[in-house]
Amino acid sequence: MSEAEVVRFEVEDGVGVITVDNPPVNALGPGVREGIIAAVDRGVADPNVSAMVLMGAGRSFIAGADIRQFGKPRPAPARLTHDVLDASPKPVVAAIHGYALGGGLEHALSSHYRIAVASARVGLPEVLIGVLPGGGGTQRLPRLIGPKAAMEMIVSGRHVPAAEAKALGIVDAIVEGQDLRKEAIRFAKSVAAKRPLPRVRDKADRIAEAKADPGMFEAMRKSIARKARNQKAPYHCIACVEAAVTQPFDEGLKTERRLFAELENSEEAKALRYAFFAEREVAKIPGAPKDLKPPRVKTAAVIGAGTMGGGIAMSFADFGIPVKVLEVSREALDKGMQRVRDNYAVSVKRGSLAQAEMERRLALIEPVDRYEAIADCDVVIEAVFERVDVKKEVFAKLDAVMKPGALLLTNSSAIDTDIMANVTKRPQDVAGAHFFAPANVMKLFEVVKGTKTSIETIAGAMKVGRDIGKISAVAGTCDGFAANRSRAPFITEMMLMLEEGALPEQVDKVMVDFGYPMGPFAVSDLSGLDISYDTRKRRAAADPNYRKLHVPDRLVEMGRKGQKTGAGWYRYEKGDRTPHPDEVVKSVIAEVAREFGIEQRTFTDDEILRRLLCASVNEACKILEEGKAYRASDIDVMWLHGFGFPRYRGGLMFWADTVGSREILRQIEEWHQRYGARWKPANLLREIAASGGSFREAKAAG
Ligand code: 3HC
């Protein structure tokens, strides 16, 4: 489409209709702003036009500035659309459907009236990509709805549904009819003669009212301090809203522009933009036909009512999908269902779930004890005990009963998907569906591609994940798949650093300061030290070169399994989750170091961070080399949604690029010399460093 065509202008019934038509979401890409200005000029000049409507074609109003243009040099426009809309002597009505976000909502705020269909959503989500509303949003929204509500919207970046937008005063009316264009023209005609034109920039009442509460900005800063640590954008958003209260409109705009410019190329904005696009890229399956669009599953089944099975069943029920939970033992089934009820009851008690909603969700979960009862389900997820023989038996039964075309998925976290696929006569329909605990909370959904899994099954499994609110990412089958495998060396190094003199509390502090919500040792105490104990024993038995992790093994053998036993890496007071550093752990570490003659030394924070992340970067390169993940950015998405990696740092591979590929190689070579084989640099790592390339753009070999 040529630039001239991204905005249309038509006159209908005395109203000039300006339609932005820039698929898929009408972002303000090249030509759109210019097109809107030209259309308003035409409407103003045309004596047959008494009012104008600004709307979007397709599925949305305007989803905001074109994020792809950020960070690139842009010529300063001769005229700003906001000024042109604002100054139009004829009323402009923004007619909103789909999304009016960021620059999209700012265009609506510069219009004189705003109407919306009931399903529309509006918001200023710029903070989520590390910037702030830079088209007057921080100055107009506080004038329209008051600084407090505006600040909450701008700092959270949340999408506000139309009904709430009406209650807040963002939109003037909700359109009842089906035909937005017709309703918008009708509305425009009804206000065509009204003067003066209501301009948001001139509204003063809500600002005056805010002066009575000068402490609100400081209070907001305090309330976000923990979550927004290391970030600038949320604080700049607050500063802009404060400027709306303390400065005249045009001065406030200058403040907004200055602070926007400070953020646009910040490391945090670059990382968050990258994360936005990586999350969209991860949904794409290389080589898949364009028309491959699996339908939403209507019914699901879960085999196993353990903690994982129950959590998976809740994930379906939470998104309105009926799900059957199968356990052949009645006792296990009852126990599992009780656990699900208890989990929901905790949410009701906390106030995050209504009792009626809990009942509705529970009604969607049907306990069954025979395989025949699930035969008709569109998808089945096996979540039984992690033992090959048990899993093989389940898949043989599924093969016998499930309807043709059903997706047969396994939640195994370590067992090769091919083993299960090969006991069926339909290995093409079998894939892994790796949930992360707790399954109903964690967003990552790793789809594991077996050797014979068809592209339709991969697409279908990914869609299942999206339908239950997850981020689906594809991995190849191998030990640990892509997510856990890429994280395993991080875990190994954090344990081994202890033997050399680091302490759990020091490592945790470094990682929390980096941006993780919790340190890795505190996380290990939460999930239980015993979980990885068995895996370690299995690996040690299978591999004579396996480097044993003596410290955690000894802690588990002492009965220190984490929070559930009142002690693990830390000690806990009864009924309190605060971790307290523990002398016992120190003495176990000292004992191991003595026994193996490991010299003690001090670690800098930077060394700790690098040691953990570099180990994983190297492994991620091997994963890509072996074709076990499609893209480096997919691994980043896994780290963001599976392991709490701070989003404003982009992800593991994005972080590696901030250090630089040559420096990462130099560091890994140094540790290869010092620590031996486990630090051998991956071939792909060497290639990237030699070409001066970037990690984040690396793709699977082949
Ligand atoms: N710029 C460029 N591309 C965009 C875009 C934007 N603002 N918003 C969406 N896209 C692209 C996506 O990358 C995707 O491309 P792809 O098909 O090639 O992968 C395509 O549009 C469809 O997007 P989604 O898959 O996300 O579609 P959904 O229907 O799931 O979601 C949405 C729609 C809620 C609008 C979501 O895309 C979104 O949140 N977009 C970003 C909105 C935003 O952040 N706006 C503010 C921008 S900054 C700004 O306006 C600054 C101003 O104040 C000066």
Distance 27 CA to ligand 1 centre (A): 7
Going by CA atoms, what residue is nearest to atom 54 of ligand 1?
134
The predicted pLDDT at position 321 comes to: 98
Distance CA 259, CA 501 (A): 44
Mean pLDDT of 142-155: 97
What are the catalytic residues?
Answer: 106, 126
Distance 173 CA to ligand 1 centre (A): 25
Q: Model confidence over 558-586: pLDDT tens digits? A: 999 999 999 999 999 998 889 999 999 99
Does 465 have pLDDT greater than 60? yes
Which amino acids bring their CB within 6 angstroms of ligand 1?
A: 24-25, 27, 63-68, 99, 101-103, 106, 125-126, 129, 133-135, 137, 277, 280
Mean pLDDT of 114-133: 98
Q: Which atom of ligand 1 is nearest to the CA of 284?
A: 19
Going by CA atoms, what residue is nearest to atom 26 of ligand 1?
280
The residue type at 213: D
Does 437 have pLDDT greater than 90? no
pLDDT: is 547 or 106 the higher one?
106
- Interior/surface letters 473-511, b for 16+ CB within 10 angstroms, e for the rest: bbbbbbebbbbbbbbbbbbbbbbbbbbbbbbbbbbbebb
**Shortest CA distance to 240 belongs to which of 364, 376, 384, 132?**
132
The predicted pLDDT at position 177 comes to: 78
The predicted pLDDT at position 263 comes to: 97
Going by CA atoms, what residue is nearest to atom 32 of ligand 1?
63
pTM here is 0.95
Q: For the chain, what percent of residues have pLDDT higher than 70? A: 99
Of the pLDDT bands very low, low, confident and very high (cuts 50, 70, 90), residue 702 is low
Going by CA atoms, what residue is nearest to atom 30 of ligand 1?
280
The predicted pLDDT at position 509 comes to: 98
**Shortest CA distance to 413 belongs to which of 434, 442, 439, 384?**
434
Mean pLDDT of 14-23: 98
Mean pLDDT of 148-153: 97
Which among 6, 25, 28, 121 is the best mutation to test ligand 1's pocket, defined by most ligand atoms within 8 Å of the CB? 25
Distance 535 CA to ligand 1 centre (A): 42
Going by CA atoms, what residue is nearest to atom 41 of ligand 1?
63
- Mean pLDDT lowest among 199-203, 355-359, 412-416: 412-416
Distance 63 CA to ligand 1 centre (A): 6
Mean pLDDT of 149-159: 98
Does 4 have pLDDT greater than 80? no
Distance CA 638, CA 99 (A): 27
Does 1 have pLDDT greater than 50? no
Distance CA 667, CA 662 (A): 9
Distance 26 CA to ligand 1 centre (A): 9
Q: Model confidence over 315-349: pLDDT tens digits? A: 999 999 999 999 989 999 999 999 999 999 999 99
Does 680 have pLDDT greater than 80? yes
Does 2 have pLDDT greater than 60? no
Which among 6, 28, 61, 67 is the best mutation to test ligand 1's pocket, defined by most ligand atoms within 8 Å of the CB? 67
Distance 536 CA to ligand 1 centre (A): 43
Q: Model confidence over 469-516: pLDDT tens digits? A: 999 999 998 888 999 999 999 999 999 999 999 999 999 999 999 999
Q: Which atom of ligand 1 is nearest to the CA of 103?
A: 50
Q: What is the mean pLDDT of the chain?
A: 95
Does 80 have pLDDT greater than 70? yes
Q: Which atom of ligand 1 is nearest to the CA of 125?
A: 44
Mean pLDDT of 122-132: 98
Q: Which atom of ligand 1 is nearest to the CA of 280?
A: 19
Going by CA atoms, what residue is nearest to atom 42 of ligand 1?
63
Q: How many CB atoms lie within 10 A of CB 583?
A: 8
Supply 95's token pair: 């007619």
Supply 475's token pair: 């991995």
The predicted pLDDT at position 214 comes to: 84
Distance 293 CA to ligand 1 centre (A): 20
**Shortest CA distance to 57 belongs to which of 180, 183, 185?**
180
The predicted pLDDT at position 218 comes to: 96
Q: Model confidence over 375-431: pLDDT tens digits? A: 999 999 999 988 899 999 999 999 999 999 999 999 988 789 999 999 999 999 999
DSSP state of 438: S
DSSP 472-512: EEEEESSTTTTHHHHHHHHHHHHHHHHHHT--HHHHHHHHH
